[in-house]
Structure 1
Amino acid sequence: MDLAACVGSRLRELRKARGWSLSELARRAKLGKGTLSELESGGRNPTLETLYCLTTALEVPLSSVLHGLTPAAEISGQAVDAVLTERFEDDAAITETYRIRMRAGTAQESAAHAPGTTEHIIVLAGTAHVGHTSAPMTVGPGMHGSWTADLSHLYQASTDVEALLLVRYSK
């Protein structure tokens, strides 16, 4: 099964487990019902932004639709490309690790995640402006930054950026 079909199947399973109709999830995610239907049927490739909208509405981590895909899938967005490299779950939290690439001159604003979610970035190359949209921090090569991700937050690159991103969802 290709990426679109695998992700679509997982989205449908998560939606049905909640007992929600296509219309209900589309409303909560602020997406068109037709778009959601195409995603669930595997007829449309998901973007990073769309998957975040859907998983946030479903109140599950992004890794819920990406974990275990072989080979690991690269999901692209307007500014950020991400590959899930690890998912760890214990009684306290779900922690995801991503290898990300941010394109120079681009920006992505991410909506708030569930309460208690934090993000941590280690920049390998380039310069990133990340964190809360009201006060982003500048993180360069070999530097790291952290922020609470239960507020709207930004990923912006003044130069191409290679980084590791850790997202921790409290249970």
Structure 2
Amino acid sequence: MEQSRSGAVSSPGATAGARVRAIRESRGLSLSALAAIAGIGKATLSELESGRRNPTLDTLYAIAGPLGVPLVALVAESDLVVGDAALDSVRLHVQHDADSTTEVYLVRVRPGATRRSPAHAPGVREQLVVLSGEGTLEAEGASVPLAPGVHHAWAADQPHAYSASDAGVLVAVDVIVTPGIS
């Protein structure tokens, strides 16, 4: 699977688009309504749903939050590589339980880069365990220094950000738990 620096998901956009459309329609949302809530263009959403455009990581998260679903609900269940100019992420595991979905990612933040994440769906919790490198996590109004061995958990239903120091790549395991989805 290949992934471009533009942040496109390496799997075909048609799969993600079909899933977005199905979930949007099951929620009774129009294309215009979801685009407005997600803060993306209606044309962008239309092209994504029709498979003419591969979604970026930012677009997937922007859509997942308003739909109330985890990222995994919008993409194929197989291993997934996503990224953008600041971060590469490989999904390692997905666990579906009766009352939640847990996603586990290996995350690499490029030196000096910051990855700003939009708010996830209501009630989502996130945990980060740093394996190597240094940086900062901005979450819940606090700035948390990141270094090997640091573990931090926070409410991810509000915007948050990861930054790597200029000295090197920040590598961490990111665990995202979305309630009410199984």
Alignment TM-score, normalising by the size of structure 2: 0.84
Aligned 1:33-44 pairs, distance under 5 A: 33-44=42-53
Q: Which residue number corresponds to residue 146 of structure 1? A: 153
Q: Which residue number corresponds to residue 116 of structure 2? A: 109
In 1, Cα distance between the equivalents of 2:161 and 2:51?
29
Contact 1:133–1:154 (CA under 8 A) maintained in structure 2: no
Identity of aligned residues (%): 40
How far residue 133 of structure 1 moved from its aligned partner, in angstroms, is 6.2
Q: Which residue number corresponds to residue 26 of structure 1? A: 35
In 1, Cα distance between the equivalents of 2:84 and 2:173?
16
Per-residue CA distance 1:21-80 (angstroms, 9 max, x = gap):
2111111111101111111122222111110000101111111112413xx221112422
Q: Which residue number corresponds to residue 105 of structure 2? A: 98
Q: Which residue number corresponds to residue 13 of structure 2? A: 4
Q: Which residue number corresponds to residue 25 of structure 2? A: 16
In 1, Cα distance between the equivalents of 2:13 and 2:128?
27
Q: Which residue number corresponds to residue 87 of structure 2? A: 80
Alignment pair present for 1:68 and 2:83:
no
In 2, Cα distance between the equivalents of 1:43 and 1:34?
11
Aligned residue among 150, 167, 171 for 2:176: 167
In structure 1, stretches of 5+ residues that fail to align are: none
2:29 aligned counterpart, secondary structure: coil
Per-residue CA distance 1:72-113 (angstroms, 9 max, x = gap):
221112422222221112233221111111111111222222
Q: Which residue number corresponds to residue 58 of structure 1? A: 67
- Give the partner amino acid of 1:136: S
Per-residue CA distance 1:141-162 (angstroms, 9 max, x = gap):
2322211212221111113122
Aligned length, in residue pairs: 168
In structure 2, stretches of 5+ residues that fail to align are: 1-10
After TM superposition, the runs of 4+ consecutive aligned structure 1 residues lying more than 6 A away are: none
TM-align CA RMSD: 1.7
Contact 2:140–2:154 (CA under 8 A) maintained in structure 1: no
Contact 1:6–1:42 (CA under 8 A) maintained in structure 2: yes
Per-residue CA distance 1:111-136 (angstroms, 9 max, x = gap):
22233221111112211311416312
2:102 aligned counterpart, secondary structure: strand
Contact 1:131–1:146 (CA under 8 A) maintained in structure 2: no
How far residue 170 of structure 1 moved from its aligned partner, in angstroms, is 2.3
Are residues 67 and 131 of structure 1, via their aligned partners in 2, closer, same or farther at CA, if it must alter by over 3 Å? farther
